[in-house]
Amino acid sequence: MRVFWADESGLPASDRGLAYGDGLFETIRVEGAGAPLLAYHLDRLVTDARRLGIPVQKAELARVCEEAVSRWCDEGPRWVLKLVLTRGGGGRGYRPADRIEPNLLVARASAPERPAPEGVIAGFSRVPLTVNPLFAGIKSLNRLEQVMAAREISGDHFELLMANAAGHIVEGTRTNLFVATDNGWLTPPLESVAVAGIMRRLVIESLQKAGQALTETPVLPEHLSPGVCAGLYLTNSVLGVVGVRRLAGQDLPVDQRLATICRSHIAMD
């Protein structure tokens, strides 16, 4: 694996990630001298790389992350480490070369502002979300649907939710979602989501440990109506758990219970 530091050089023009989106990426929240969810990120990166046939070792990635934290630790107490892993270069057209030497681009970015604790405003995107079952959940470099949906975000909207062709509400442009109801929690099934988020995994594990009822099921628009929805929460590994106080002009209840459940298992602040 060849490592490129973004503050020194970019990926070569022959890189297949640049040419075809042939790769994966992770955005990792760093606080102080560590990254609370690093093990989750590396697990996903290695697992998804295996699904795409990109050879990479977890121990090697961990060493790069350790070096990155040491390299940039003096630039702020809270920031975001981004890893872009590609298949490398080589091959004719879409077909990759038989011998693969992956490229890893390592970059640092400032952490976004934390959302308001009283909740955020969200709406619905007009861009449909299509998930190929072969790539369901993989955080690949192919994110054009999310890019186009994110272009619709304006004004005081924090996020827009995206629906698939069946009309099921699947996820936000950068978040997974959980719905609180009187009968327990709902979240879209893994096979329907474009990105199986790190916080999605953590929330599911935390709810199970707390003995909370959780059902992975298609989320319908009626599940988000004020009479049914007892809380809508968006999750993202950089932002944590974000409550939605207003969705498409309708007020929703919001509290800190989901964040509190997760905080009992890992630091969220």
Question: What are the residue numbers of the active site?
Answer: 27, 139, 171
Q: Is the dihedral of CA 189, 190, 195, 198 positive or negative?
A: positive
Q: Which amino acid is at 227?
A: G
Find the helix or strand (DSSP H, E) in which 163 lies: strand 157-163
| SS3 call for 114 | coil
CA distance 138 to 52: 9
Q: C-alpha distances in angstroms, 109 versus 6, 15, 35, 210? A: 10, 22, 14, 34
Angstrom distances, CA of residue 14 to CA of 1, 17, 23, 216: 15, 9, 13, 41
